[in-house]
Structure 1
Amino acid sequence: MKEWKTITPEEITTNPFRLIGKEWMLVTAEMNGKANTMTASWGGVGVLWNKPVAFVFLRPQRYTREFVDSSDTLSLSFYGESEEAHKTLTYLGRVSGRDEDKIAKSGLTLTHEDGVPFFEEARMVLLGRKLYCQQMNPESFLIPGLAEKNYPQKDYHFVYVVEIEKVLMEQEQA
């Protein structure tokens, strides 16, 4: 079992644009004792309501959204930019947990911290509690064409604001 170091959100030194936009992340939640996960590359981190938070965007048709909606907590996990990590996250983003046991097929090892599911292979994990959720709406877009370009099927994302309660970092092996 991997050793983890707990740090504060303020101690994260990796560029969030690189983490989310290039490495991608897995959004993982549990419902009725079963976990599901999906790859995401849209999101952010910051401070809101005097709390360290992450912003996560999930389309309405995503199976993982059912898990996120049914749970108070979720994890956001990061794996680096290796070819193997990219291949695994591409698979987990393409295949639905409705259709197959994609977690088992991915080869990742599900584990928990404080009751929140995540994967042992991650190098950094944000464990969070949901604070807010709202679906985007086309009337709120301020730049003409932006909604049409990104939502041709009108499947506007749900925006989740998640308080980062704990950050786990992979321990350096001696």
Structure 2
Amino acid sequence: NEWMLVTAGDSKKFNSMTVSWGGWGEVWNKPCSFIFIRDVRYTYEFLEQKEGFTLCFFPEEFKGALRILGNRSGRNQNKIKQSGLQYVLTPSGLVAYKEAKMIIECKKLFTAPLQTENISKNVRETIVKDWYTSDPSLHNLFISEITKVWIKKHL
């Protein structure tokens, strides 16, 4: 029920975006996250270049900042600064946010583009019409090992 913020890159150059498609479970006996990102998104470029990334979750009061990060591109503007969030580096050197109530560090295990011909025939037409007609760019699946989790304690 909460938005995730995926962040990839390094301290010199990174980008973040909101993600609503995803979750976690176990794959290959490893705790894993899975997320879906369109290949036209700026953050996708960073996810492709780096092995690690973070998923951050925020208290309700940061919905406005998350809307900025989800609705604007970081290609031509500094949306991180516009959001008002303060980035921090995890001990592993990954970019996360000070305001996050939970930070999950992930290491990529598997990536693959979703291909419309692999969508079940009984729902393919509807899914393609609803999700890939106005924007034909495809989502890519990232399955990643969860390597660390930080949860902010309330005082």
TM-score calculated relative to the size of structure 1: 0.82
Three-state SS of the structure 2 residue aligned to 1:45 is: strand
Deviation beyond 4 Å, 4+ runs, structure 1: none
Query: Residue 133 of structure 1 contacts residue 158 of structure 1 at CA under 8 Å; is this kept in 2?
Result: yes
Matches within 5 A, 1:1-174: 18=1, 23-31=2-10, 33-80=12-59, 82=60, 84-113=61-90, 114-142=92-120, 143-144=123-124, 145-152=126-133, 153-173=135-155
> Matches of 2:145 and 2:43 in 1, distance apart?
19
Number of residue equivalences: 150
Counterparts of 2:52 and 2:87, CA distance in 1: 15
The whole-number CA distance in structure 2 between the counterparts of 1:35 and 1:155 is: 22
Aligned-residue Cα RMSD (Å) equals 1.3
Report Cα offsets for 1:8-35 as digits up to 9, x if no partner: xxxxxxxxxx2xxxx2011001158212
Structure 1 vs Structure 2: percent identity of aligned residues?
A: 37
Please tell me whether the aligned partners of residues 17 and 43 of structure 2 are also in contact (alpha carbons under 8 angstroms). Answer: yes
SS in 1 for 2:80: helix
Change (3 A) 1:86 1:32: closer
Structure 1 unmatched ranges of 5 or more: 1-17
Would the aligned equivalents of 1:31 and 1:70 in 2 still touch at CA under 8 Å? no
